Amino acid sequence: MAFAGKWETESQEGYVEFCKLLGIPDDIIEKGRDYKLVTEITQDGNTFTWTQLYPANAKVTNTFTVGTEADMETIGGKKFKATVQMDGGKLNVAFPNYQHTTEIVGGKLVETSKAGAVVLKRTSKKI
């Protein structure tokens, strides 16, 4: 249940490079650069509902059960199927263009997205 709660971005590293690699337009990158992304997570056993609130009232919600294939959606609206795995307290999932890992480190939500050598690391505090 460590993931459950409401989290707000505190810092991020590699944001611009990662967004450019995914083909996100420069104007959207600029809008999101200093945005305090809010992530709301509910957890019932191995089932999670994960909602991220983006600029301009954009919202993406994914519900999944660890170890079971689920329908997912990206911020760009791309739908895909993925299976989230739990490994040593970390949630791991393969998105279409990158690998995403989430963990709790020192009471913070740390999300790491890797696409080749490009890494986005976002750290959020509980609010």
Which pLDDT belongs to residue 113? 93
CATH code of the domain covering residue 80: 2.40.128.20
Count up the domains in the chain and report the number.
1
Please identify every stretch of the chain with a pLDDT value under 50, giving residue numbers as ranges: none
What are the structure tokens assigned to 124, written together? 């959020």
Task: Look at phi and psi of residue 36 and say left if phi exceeds 0, alpha if psi is from -120 to 50, else beta.
Answer: beta
Which pLDDT belongs to residue 33? 79
Domain housing 122: 5-126
Q: What does pTM read for this prediction?
A: 0.88
Name the one residue in this structure whose structure tokens are 């609206």: 77
Q: What is the mean pLDDT of the chain?
A: 90
**For residue 40, which of 127, 106, 102, 123 has the smallest C-alpha distance?**
127
Cα gap 1→20, rounded to integer Å: 34
Secondary structure of residue 68 in the 3-state scheme: coil
Which pLDDT belongs to residue 34? 81
For 7-36, how does the pLDDT look when each residue is reduced to its tens digit (9 = 90+)? Answer: 999 999 999 999 888 888 888 788 777 888
